Structure 1
Amino acid sequence: MSADPADSAYRLSMPDRPAAHDNVDRATSPAQTPLPRQLLVTPDIATRTQIAGFASQLAQALARGIRLVQLRNRSLDADSYRALAESALALTHAAGAQLILNPPQSVADLWLDAPNGVHASTVPQADGWHLTSARLMVCDARPAGWKLVSAACHNAAQIERATRLGLDFITLSPVLVTATHPHAKPLGWPAFTALAAQTSLPVFALGGMRDDALSSARHAGAYGIAAIRAFWP
């Protein structure tokens, strides 16, 4: 699953595509941040007792070359998600990888502004934060205090908002039929290409991606691919 070294990182300060959004404040984005082309979105765990097994599988994914991890969870309370994040942080940073938090909504409500707020001492010091599409659409500014901020997008309005906020990258989904959301209507590659062309941000194709889909995704206008099953041992 190792990638071509020439494709292993993207320099966010490089204007690869002509932007239709030249009003974006580039100073809000961290310059020269390496962005891998494969994004692991982690599967959900329901209880704190599952953290050890989760950590073992994450270590395997990192050993296979994953260098960008979104720690997605919809089941844990704040204390349990913090324990999960601290375990994941130790593993990702030891491997030279980056970890982006995507906690349950109740945890996000407590933590999102925490790097500059009262909960700062309780929030794991991860590399970034991932906004759900719902939270993205109520954000008036890029969340402060995070090196990387990404967002989930499914349509043109969400892509426009992410671009205007000066985020670092987005996921665009679902591209294909996916077991994670079997009832969601897939975009298909032609619609994905048209939507991805509306932003200068790196776009990760998500939904039905296999670990060998990077070449076809890039041909369709993606920067990289994001997946759960394809990258999880």
Structure 2
Amino acid sequence: MKMIFETVKFNLVLFFNSTRFIIPLLANVVFLFLMYYGNNGTYDISTVLFITAFFSFFLMLLVGNSIISLKNERLEQILLLRIGKYAESISELLFVAVLSLLVIMVSYGIPMIINLIGNECLIKQHLTMQNIICSLIIVWLSGIIGGVTGAFFNSNIIKDKKMVILNNCIIAVLTISKEAVIEQIQFAKYIFFILPPLNDIVKCIETSSGAILSGQSCLLILKMVVYILVVCILKHIIFNKKLYD
């Protein structure tokens, strides 16, 4: 376990010593500015949850695609020989989880703190600790899903960089338009089940009050965890098959 955490720490140092952290940081600042600055009214917590979850997903999709290129092929092989292929996969997942946590600390944590200090100046509903925790986990997992999905479609697995970018764009568009497409094309649901379950966020929201339903939230959290594990296992299998073939 010590080697795994050391590898995560090493990856974080590589990331923040490069210029790759600048775009996510600027994106967070722009998001907060557009979302909250100059807004005279308040938002439903459901609106904040939905928008922030998709923002975290899209941002981490971009980040996940770029973090693989932090390590060159020789460094990747050294790490694999030193800690093993399973530990390397676990450390990569933890690395994405830490980056997603840093993203939501800015995009979600800061507004929640301001709302608490400012006597509910941003959110209409009175937020219970249960609502805050559920929404926080959903946004965090949305970011992790984006990160592991972006890392799945990377240049180590798909050699054509243009195809990598195209795949990420298609995933982003289809994820946000999933329900609309299924309404128009019924059989699409048999294909789109492979997409991230982010559209299920609407099922976690009480229509009349805009409050978050804890039971549906727990079910969504379980789906998201399973999705993350499936993507990571598939990436591990495909990457190691390409590496050792």
TM-score when scaled to structure 1? 0.26
**Structure in which a larger fraction of residues adopt strand:** 1
RCO (CA 8 Å, sep 6+): is it higher in 1 or 2?
Answer: 2
If you compute each CA radius of gyration, which structure gives the higher value, 1 or 2? Answer: 2
**Structure in which a larger fraction of residues adopt helix:** 2
